[in-house]
Structure 1
Amino acid sequence: MIFNYFALFLVSVVGIVFLDDDITSVSIQEWILFAVMIYAVLGIFRHYRDLLNQERRRR
């Protein structure tokens, strides 16, 4: 599951790099990919938080 979020993050980064025609402005596609990137990072943090909570319950 965490690999899906990581892949989503990487695709967003690559998409932003390739869609950046004009470095002085941000297109709507770049904003959407940035939102997808934030979603992926939050998913990764949630996954690690859940793993930490499971480890704490074990002790």
Structure 2
Amino acid sequence: YNQITHNVMYCHATLSNYLHATTSSKIGGMLAYSQVYPATSNPKILFYHINGMSL
């Protein structure tokens, strides 16, 4: 999960830099946020959900 997020951010930054260097085009910002809705308020379960793990 963390590697995927890293790759997406890297590609977005690379594309943004390319567009700014070669054209007058504009590109919007990127948000990398994953909403988490655990079944309970148990902190252990929430931790696993946030980190993309399973129990």
TM-score, normalisation: structure 2: 0.48
TM-score, normalisation: structure 1: 0.46
Larger radius of gyration: 2
Choose between structure 1 and 2: higher helix proportion.
1
Q: Which has the higher contact order (CA 8 A, sep 6+)?
A: 1
